[in-house]
Amino acid sequence: MDSGKRVTSDDHRVSEAEVDRWVAEKQSAAPGPSSPPMKVSTDPKDAWAVINEAHPIVHAYGGAIAWPTKDGGVASAYVGFAVLDGEIWTTTTKGRGKTYAMLRDPRAAFIIVSADRQRSTTVYGKVELSNNDRDVTRFAIGFSRYRSGRWQEVGPGISSFDSPGRYAVRFIPERFVTRMPA
């Protein structure tokens, strides 16, 4: 039953006694072996394994795209994506901060997480924005077919891509960094 109380922290998951115990153990233990809990790969094959696994459930597990801001900082947003003929595509519209930023500086990073959340890949590269009807519609069809996690016919929902200023964004990879359990 919903008690109505929102759990908005993880404080309840940890007791001070166990923190004390682990701090003492870590301080008394000899330095452990170099066994990182994750290994890192720059092999595109490992990256595509993660991307393809995340891909069918784009609605649940999209990715975050990051771009440089005008002041030299960074911004990012959660976006759905579709892999079309081996290329990663997403979308944006005129008037959004990320659109202006991408038109100004095409460098971007795309972080994609596998469905089991044990592996992730970051794709580094550049974006290319296209607002021609063919590219936008091609993305809309691909995205619509899998957005619920199951293949479905393209229906009236595709009109949500009709807005003027809609761009299809093609991601051009240059480097992959994939993290997976060692």
Choose which of 41, 44, 100, 124 interacts with another protein (CB under 8 A): 124
Residue with Cβ nearer another protein (1 or 143): 143
> Are the C-beta atoms of 178 and 41 separated by less than 8 Å?
yes
**CA 37 to CA 58: how far, in whole Å?**
27
Q: Which is nearer to another protein, 53 or 128 (CB)?
A: 53
Q: How far apart are CA 59 and CA 45, in angstroms?
A: 23
Q: Specify the residue, 1 or 127, whose C-beta has the smaller distance to another protein.
A: 127
Q: 22 in helix, strand or coil?
A: helix
User: Helix (H, G, I), strand (E, B), or coil: what is residue 174?
Assistant: strand
Q: Which one among 46, 47, 62, 99 touches another protein, defined by CB under 8 A?
A: 62
Cβ–Cβ contacts within 10 Å for residue 30, how many? 5
Total number of residues that touch another protein (CB under 8 A): 81
What span, in angstroms and rounded, lies between the C-alpha atoms of 182 and 179?
9
**Chain-centre distance for alpha carbon 90:** 11
Residues 76-115 that bind another protein (CB under 8 A): 76-78, 82-85, 93, 95, 107-111, 113, 115
- Which residues ranging from 162 to 181 are in contact with another protein (CB under 8 A)? 162-163, 177, 179
For another protein, the closer of residues 1 and 166 by Cβ is 166
- Judged by CB under 8 A, the residue of 10, 17, 30, 45 near another protein is 10
Closer residue to another protein in complex, CB, 129/177: 177
Contact status: 40 vs another protein (CB under 8 A): yes
- Choose which of 44, 129, 131, 138 interacts with another protein (CB under 8 A): 138
- Identify the burial level of 129 via C-beta atoms within 10 angstroms of its C-beta, where 0-12 means exposed, 13-18 middle and 19 or more buried: middle
Does 29 engage in binding with another protein (CB under 8 A)? yes
| Number of Cβ atoms within 10 Å of the Cβ of 127 | 24
